[in-house]
Amino acid sequence: MRKIEFANEEYYHIFNRGVDKREIFLSSQEYERFILAMQLLNDKEGGLMIKWRDYKKANPTAKLESFLKRSFRKREPLVEIIAYCLNPNHYHFILKQIEDNGIERFMHKIGTSYTKYFNKKNKRSGVLFQGVFKSVHIDSNEYLLYLSAYVNKNNFIHRYNKNDDWSYSSLLDYLGKKKSGFLNMNAVLGQFKSINEYEEYLKNNALYMKEKKEMEEYLIEE
């Protein structure tokens, strides 16, 4: 039973990993499918994933942006996605709940949709994620900013990537190098004078987090 109760207009750190620490992303296609689900399943109603599938079949070269600009019903998001990072065997989100039970509904929809896709693609069955997703209430502005650095640079912190070019996170959006269109970055970036100032904040904190993690692993090994 989940101990935390999600409240509207509050921020939460959401994370989970593959069952038995297994990899949940084996190719770029799988990362992209998860991000697609993040965009199309963040809605009180369903059906957009199926509509996109049918639209894509009829228009093989179509981009998601053109599909979303079409005259659909007014969308009602469940959450605001502040930041995210997808790593080979786990993921992180910073979410703001904007509808009752929005986080639980959003994460359930993503987990179910992606597990079905992954299992079919890789000819496997059974659960993919390690139980119910984990969550922590972000109860201060300082914690929100700190976690934004942790999530945006999580791929670097875990030593998967040494550079700021990991495509499967919100990092490039925050650095102004990409415009995904589905993130609400103002809660974080609005507190900095410029992107360069935030980038400096990212580097300083991420380096500290990486060194701390390496030291913890060293002590465990000792």
Tens-place pLDDT, residues 166-211: 999 999 999 999 999 999 999 999 999 999 999 999 988 877 677 7
The reported pTM is 0.90
| Main-chain phi, psi angles of 126, to 5 degrees | 95, -175
Position 216 scores a pLDDT of: 57
Q: Which two tokens stand for residue 151?
A: 């999530």
Tell me the C-alpha distance between 199 and 4, whole Å: 32
Q: Please compute the mean of the pLDDT values over residues 117-138 and round it to a whole number.
A: 95
Q: Does any domain span residue 181?
A: yes
Domains of the chain: total: 1
Domain that holds residue 114: 11-42+77-141+167-185
Q: Does any domain span residue 135?
A: yes
Tell me the CATH number at 30: 3.30.70.1290
Q: What is the mean pLDDT of the chain?
A: 90
Q: Please compute the mean of the pLDDT values over residues 29-35 and round it to a whole number.
A: 97
Amino acid at 9: E
Q: Which two tokens stand for residue 81?
A: 């996605």
